[in-house]
Amino acid sequence: MTAPPEAASPPGARTRLLRLALLSLLVGALTATAGLAATDGLDVAIGKAVFDRMWVRAPSSTRHADGLGPLFAARSCASCHAGGGRTTFRLGRDDPAAHPGLVVRLGDASGAGDALYGQELQPEGLGDVPGEGRPAVRFAAAAAGFPPRPEWRVERWGYGAPSAGLRLSPRVAPALDGLGLLARVPDAEILSREDPDDRDGDGVSGRANRVGGGIGRFGWKAAEPTLEAQAALAFSLDLGLSTAFRPDGAGDCTAAQAACRAAPHGAATGEPEVAPALMASLMAFLEARPAPPAAKTGGRGAVLFASVGCAACHAPALKLAGGGVAAAYTDLLLHDMGDGLDDGMGEAGAAGAEWRTAPLWGLSRALAQGSGLLHDGRAANVPAAVAWHAGEAAGARARFDALSAGDRKALVDFVNGL
């Protein structure tokens, strides 16, 4: 008996057909994740396949896998998050124009994207749509006490000069481990750690980023309140793919980029290129990402971590809805990190110098694979990252610098082991 066309099928049948179609298209990827499927279910396995999927130009014969670009920075989620983790990019060692683990956000002081180039630099283009340019960096003298400061530029702008005053904010792909736990941290737990007026006088005045009707917790600026919102943003800006959350099939193409907006898209009019069923499976995969292995919590290094003031922002654990904790070493709040880390560009209510406290769990793995630290990968190790701490972190940095060589090593060894 021949099945009716998908368009004539009821919604539940269409979803089943879509899942079966993806399974047949990505059989190689699913074969590689067979153990994952058996353990965590079909949705997680399909989500892993979506994560690994190398998207292609539309139109193609591969339905539900085309629609890339026409402007883009990567061809897959896995391109940036190598091995499902954080990028291995390190500034000063790797070429920012050739490494897929770094993207460059564009905007003015308020965070509004460029009228010509949009919100992110997309170096790659398809067909008759040229890429937007290549990021490059040089290091200039910084203020006394700080390392040389990276200064970013774009070589060979593809569509002419951008608006005057455009800021460039490079961002490395963050780690994905434990995202499901961070999604389960109640808003009240984050808000309980706010101290925007520094009432306790410790110099730390973190605040939550209130965005989209919720509390931001994902991204370098805590600009997105949910995993789905963060993934939809990445699909749109990095891959040029539409979702139900961000339905524009042209991604970050602006009205001034006529060829990009006129190019074919990978879905029928009114439908997203990343179908809701595929997005739901991707969410299942991301939510199932295990937390990094628990680190040793005691000892001299841990005591110093707290006494120096690191734990004022890098809170060792956050309570979870339903019980348990996420031992992520973050408060998920925004903190002013001073002029050295100020990129001059706002984002979703966060100022240029404000950054979400980066989770430290899994740092040992990042260092082992050679990843750079901080938002642009500029720090090769923990002491180098501390050297850039200023603003609200100035006191902790000063106390770190004042430690004896032995105490400093004990603290760094503790952080290196997280």
Burial class of 224 by CB neighbour count within 10 A (0 to 12, 13 to 18, 19+): buried
Q: Report the C-alpha gap between 211 and 98 in whole angstroms.
A: 33
pLDDT digits (tens, 9 = 90+) for 126-139: 999 999 999 999 99
Residue-level pLDDT at 357 = 98
Binned average pLDDT, 10 residues per bin, the chain of 418 residues: 40 51 46 41 93 91 82 95 81 93 95 96 96 96 82 96 95 94 97 94 95 94 97 97 95 95 91 95 95 85 97 97 96 97 94 97 93 96 97 97 98 96
Q: CA–CA distance from 9 to each of 3, 13, 15, 42, 320 (Å)?
A: 9, 6, 9, 22, 41
Domains located in the chain, CATH noted: 179-223+290-416 (1.10.760)
pTM of this prediction?
A: 0.89
Residue-level pLDDT at 155 = 95
Q: Which residues does 367 contact at the CB level (< 8 Å), separation at least 6?
A: 381, 382, 416
